[in-house]
Structure 1
Amino acid sequence: MPRSRSTGPLPPRVSSPDLPRVLEPAETLTGHEEILGARLAPLHGARDASFARIAECAIPDADLDTFTLTGASLRDVLISGIRATRLIAPGSAWRTVTIDGGRLATLELSGAELDSVEFRGLRIDYANLALATLSDVRFVDCRFGSLDLPEASLDRVQFSGCHADEVDCRSVRSNNLDLRGLEALSFTDPAGLSGATLAIRQAEQHAVAFATALGIRVLE
């Protein structure tokens, strides 16, 4: 008998960063710099790497006030154990990048392009992905205060074991968006979830908000 076609969302196609077996130690990371095949020494204070090109690099144990990557390009990069007050990267491009563990007060990725990116074990107070384009992105065991996605484009994006106090989903455009692993206390605009996949328990939890968005009065 022919196999039945799956009706669930397609999972993201995420690969681990392809790093050289030996990484050269590096201590500097500045704007417009091109750095390849390096292990950046623990970064401290404030670092501005706007418009830098970073490829096949490891960035372990950064402890920063501000890490600025505005307009930067990251390819095959592993960031692990990061702690930063602000990671600022609007208009940046991320391809095959993993951020594994850490704490960010603010993650600014407005207008960024993310392709084959995984966020794992992060606590983020405020994440701004407005107008960002996410393709093949996975969030695993992440906790958000506010997750802002207005006018973002999401394709094959998946959440697993995640929690958010508030999700701003105004005018989100999505395809194969799997929210079953995201426990959200509230969605600001249920209409923005069109095309996303929820679990039955999530639909029940937010039923009143969904009904209100459809103009349905819900009374005792």
Structure 2
Amino acid sequence: MVRRAGSAGGAGGTGGTGGTRVKGARRPELRLPAPERYEGGGLEPDGDYDGLEFFEADLSAQDGAGARFMDCVLTGCALDEARLSRARLLDSVLAGVRGVGTDLSGAVLRDVEVTDARLGGTQVHGAELERVLIRGGKIDFLNLRSARLRDVVFESCVLVEPDFGGARLERVEFVDCALKGADLSGATLTDVDLRGAASLEIARGVDRLAGAVISTGQLLDLAPVLAGELGIRVLD
């Protein structure tokens, strides 16, 4: 199986004011060999999984902390309370995964596609995401505190109260994505393109938007929050 994807909007897309250039995110380029069906039992801490397909596997409460997934496909898997802290997911696809309380804290996701996920309370704090595409689905209360995101695209998905507190975002794009009640407290943004967000709601940390690009309409929508942050009273 061969998958290729180009940058959304293209690297070096034009945005901002005065013709300022915005560096586009690089999407993952996956060249996956045909995977073998995983026939083993549960996950193992520090396990090594190479070229495997986990098809509708129930991985709930499994302990795969520190495990390595390379050229793997997880399709329709249940990940409730799965422990994948410090795991490494490389050149892999997660399609239609679901679960509450999945622990990916301190994990590394590199060249990964996540499609049509239904997740809640996923712990990804302190993780490293590079060339990751999250497309479709809905993720509630995503915890990305102190994580590092580089070349990450959120596309056609719904993020409810995502927590980016203290995170570093570089070349991150939101494309046709609903962002509801986001927390940017203490976050650092570089070349973050929010113009494509279908809805943009920032609950905390609006003062951290330096380094992001928004549209004129989004600026008007955010005006009350920005005025409150600056201590401006608006009276008619």
TM-score tier after normalising by the smaller chain length: over 0.9
CA shift, 1:48, in A, is 1.8
Deviation at 1:146, TM superposition (A): 0.6
Cα RMSD after superposing both structures = 1.5
1: CA distance, partners of 2:195 / 2:63: 36
Please tell me whether the aligned partners of residues 16 and 98 of structure 1 are also in contact (alpha carbons under 8 angstroms): no
1:24 aligned partner, one-letter code: E
44, 54, 61: which one aligns with 1:40: 54
Residue in 2 aligned with 1:13?
26
Q: Distance in 2 between matches of 1:165 and 1:10?
A: 24
1:196 aligns with 2:209: no
| Cα shift at 1:122 | 2.0
CA shift at 1:38, angstroms? 0.9
| 1:150 aligned residue | 165
**One-letter code aligned to 1:10:** K
1:162 deviates by 0.9
CA distance in 2, matches of 1:90, 1:19: 25
Aligned partner of residue 67 in structure 1, secondary structure:
coil
**1:165, CA displacement in angstroms?**
2.2
Q: Give aligned-pair identity as a percent.
A: 31
Cα displacement string for residues 169-200 of structure 1 (whole angstroms, at most 9, x for unaligned residues): 11111110011122123331211111111111
Q: Identify, as 1 or 2, the structure richer in strand.
A: 1
CA distance in structure 1 between the aligned counterparts of 2:72 and 2:230, rounded to whole angstroms? 48
Offset of 1:83 from its aligned partner? Answer: 1.2
Out of 35, 39, 53, the residue aligned to residue 23 of structure 1 is: 35
Instruction: Please report how far the alpha carbon of residue 17 of structure 1 lies from its aligned counterpart in structure 2 after TM superposition.
Output: 2.7
What is the aligned residue count? Answer: 215
Q: What do residues 151-170 of structure 1 show as CA deviations (whole Å, max 9, x unaligned)?
A: 10011000011112201011
Specify every segment of 5 or more residues in structure 2 that has no aligned partner in the other structure, as ranges.
Answer: 1-12, 15-19
Cα distance in 1 between the residues matched to 2:32 and 2:193 = 29
How far, CA to CA, are the matches of 1:161 and 1:41 in structure 2?
Answer: 29
Confirm whether residue 138 of structure 1 aligns to residue 153 of structure 2. yes
TM-score (norm 1): 0.92
1:55: which partner in 2? Answer: 70
Greater mean deviation of Cα atoms: 210-219 or 70-79: 210-219
Superposition pairs of residues 162-201 of structure 1, within 5 angstroms = 162-182=177-197, 183-201=199-217
1:64 counterpart residue number: 79
For each residue in 1:83-132, what CA deviation from the matched residue of structure 2 results, as whole angstroms up to 9, or x when unmatched? 11122101011100011112101221100000000101020111110100
Q: TM-score, normalised by structure 2?
A: 0.86
Superposed CA offset, 1:25-72 (max 9, x none): 113432110111111232213222110011011111102322221011
Gaps of at least 5 residues in structure 1 are none
Q: Which residue of 2 is the match for residue 112 of structure 1? A: 127
